[in-house]
Structure 1
């Protein structure tokens, strides 16, 4: 049986389109923290993460110094991993730098794949693909760290860029991305 927290997340949030710099920076950060852990571990600590990381305000997180890193390493409410904490700071700085190129929202959503999977079973749900590998590479090229093809694929699912709800799931298609038109750059990124 699924935990009620996971069920609520699935039924109300996961796979729904997420826009806005701060909301997307939160998802990027949480996906980076999730690497090597269960999503439930991160989801259960989400409120503590929000408090510890000042609501995922990238301007605040970008200014974190060594004392902030030590503060976070001592916080039992979050995942205490130095590399992931430092990655959050680095990724906040990269998020701010993207403002000159239209921002994180535009950067991600312009790279939405032309097609979304239509899995019928959990075994058919991909964990990465050529599009997530290309987007991970592009994110690294603009200064993001600790995001590989698998974490980027999970990000794309979580923010509604892909709809991997199973064909019989009551949430399938709820995001509106199934069959949506996308830009030429998204088609190119998804086919790489």
Structure 2
């Protein structure tokens, strides 16, 4: 039976992109571990395609201790050297060095706000921003909110969190719903507020 569902343009080129689009992209994420994973993966994407990151996602999880920030915060030069030998991941020295810095900054934010989710969802007042784009050409690469998020993350010591990366993180974590109007998966991002708000 042929799949008649309509999707955002970027999700029609490969099965792995389609599966990610259909089940994860734009779905609100309130779990700290998942948000940390997305933040790391978006940073790894910098200068590359999201498809490359998706194809290596399992290898990243294995190499990065299941994206556990408590463990990653203790990564040292020896661990960075080990990761640089791992052909299954993106071997960029600056990105790998940023792992422990981002994990420590993440844990500090969590300690201050109770959860990282509470911190990051505050930038969108606790509910997803639902956009109404007709075509992929209309979808921005950054917004004033992602610029503010980027600025604050950098101030807290995060690396590889420029406004474009921060916006991609917002899209992936469902803080913003950029599914096109014709996309059959557009409704998966609800207006339910952040839990407890």
For residues 138 and 78 of structure 2, the distance between their equivalents in structure 1, rounded to whole angstroms, comes to 44
Query: 1:130 — aligned with what?
Result: 144
Query: 1:118 — aligned with what?
Result: 132
Query: 1:158 — aligned with what?
Result: 172
Query: 1:105 — aligned with what?
Result: 117
* 1:1-192 correspondence to structure 2 within 5 Å: 2-102=13-113, 103-112=115-124, 115-177=129-191
Q: Which runs of 5+ in 1 are unaligned?
A: 183-192
For residues 6 and 99 of structure 1, the distance between their equivalents in structure 2, rounded to whole angstroms, comes to 31
For residues 88 and 18 of structure 1, the distance between their equivalents in structure 2, rounded to whole angstroms, comes to 21
Matched positions, count: 180
CA RMSD, Structure 1 to Structure 2 (Å): 1.4
Helix, strand or coil: the match of 1:37? Answer: coil
Over 6 Å off, 4+ runs = none
Q: Which runs of 5+ in 2 are unaligned?
A: 1-11
For residues 74 and 36 of structure 2, the distance between their equivalents in structure 1, rounded to whole angstroms, comes to 15
For residues 101 and 53 of structure 2, the distance between their equivalents in structure 1, rounded to whole angstroms, comes to 20
Q: CA deviation at 1:161?
A: 0.3
TM-score (normalizing by structure 1):
0.89
Q: CA deviation at 1:40?
A: 0.2
Q: CA deviation at 1:181?
A: 6.0
Q: CA deviation at 1:99?
A: 2.2
TM-score (normalizing by structure 2):
0.87
Structure of higher RCO (CA pairs closer than 8 Å, 6+ residues apart): 2
